[in-house]
Structure formats: structure tokens, C-alpha cells
Amino acid sequence: MNAAKRREIFRRLQAANPAPATELEFASPFELLVAVILSAQATDVSVNKATRRLYPAANTPAAILALGEEGLKPYIRHIGLFNSKAKNVIATCALLIERHGSQVPAERKALEALPGVGRKTANVILNTAFGEPTMAVDTHIFRLANRIRLAPGKTVRAVEDKLLKTTPPEYLRDAHHWLILHGRYVCTARNPKCRECVISDLCEYPGRKKILQQP
């Protein structure tokens, strides 16, 4: 895919959604951090359901730490892997208090040192909470980048690096939101909605024409 086509893809995605945002609900960097930790292998809908109950009761490192693992679990029990996530959230709260004055750090190394925080989670925090031009490649972005040939790669990191290198700078801050939402609702894993796609004519997916020809 050439640079002109990439630029036009992002221009259209921006025109369709000028102010893209995460679908996770949060009111502070800490609330976002907890929500993203909980979101691993879970839907944003299920996480929001949990945090709508949790945050009115506890939405600071000290308050959640005071709950303890057993006190936290009832709020997140319907989310997959809730036992390990409760452990990670409590440990993260303790480290935030101990090392960062109860504030979420804005540096990758410090973020990735927190339990339950890997590169993708750090990218989400750096971008969404602090405005850094990072690329949080999830399953939707990985599939879409390979399918339409926007940034093909065999690994998540390869796709991330290619997107960072090839995305026009003026679109980079919001790019991962556009791509996640497009992959989640339009360029879906099964039965992609090519007829509804604003970038269909720019797509290099070999199966696109067959889908468009369906009655």
C-alpha cells in the first residue's frame, strides 16, 4: 500500500469520526488504568458494567487497596480472569502509592513495571491519558492492518512498528482509536461490512470484491 492511499484512509476515517475515543468509561488516568487492566480478554461493555459499580465506591489507589483482593472481586466477578486481575489491580495500587505518589506515571518503563500492564496497556495509557502518539495494537487492529494491507506483519509488535512508521504524523495520535473502532464495527472478523465501509475502494483485501458482489 502506498503513502497516498494510507493518507486518504486516515483522512476518511477522521472525516467520519472527528473525535474518536476509547469506549472504556473513565474520569481520571487511574480509572483508565484499572479499566484497561480489567479489559484484557474482556469486552469494554463488561468492564464498564464493573467500573460503574466499583468507581462510586473506590476510585483511587488507596481506596481500592483498602478493599483488598477479596473486597474487589465482587465488583469484577463477571469479567474473565477476575482472580488474577484482582491480584494485579491491588498490587498496582500498592506500587502507585509506594513509588509514584498515587499518580499514574507518564513513562513507558514505569507503566510496564506495574502488575498487569504490558506494552499494549502502556500504549493505551500513554495515548489516551497523556496524548502520546502511540499505537495500541489489539486483535482488531492486527486483523485489519493485515487484511487491508495497511501495515502487514506477523506479530503485534511488527504491526505496531509499521503503523508508527507509515501513519501520517497529523493522524497518529487518533489513529489507533479509528482503527480499533473500524475493526470492531465494520471490518469485523466474520462477515466484514464492506458495503458500509468508507474506505472500501482503498482496501486491498482480496475477498472484498466477492463480498461486494453478493446480492
Active site residue 209: no
Query: Which amino acid does the sequence have at 117?
Result: V
Distance CA 24, CA 22 (A): 5
Catalytic residue among 5, 73, 87, 120: 120
Of the candidates 38, 128, 118, the one whose C-alpha atom is nearest the C-alpha of residue 75 is: 38
CA distance 124 to 120: 6
H/E stretch holding 68 reads: helix 61-76
Q: Answer whether 88's CB lies under 8 Å from 94's CB.
A: no
How large is the greatest C-alpha to C-alpha distance in the chain, in angstroms?
61
CB-CB contact of 146 with 159 (8 Å): yes
The one catalytic residue in 5, 87, 138, 174 is 138
According to DSSP, residue 201 is labeled G
201 annotated active-site = no
Q: What is the dihedral of CA 45, 46, 48, 49, to 10 degrees?
A: 120
Q: Would you please indicate which residues are annotated as catalytic (active-site) residues?
A: 120, 138
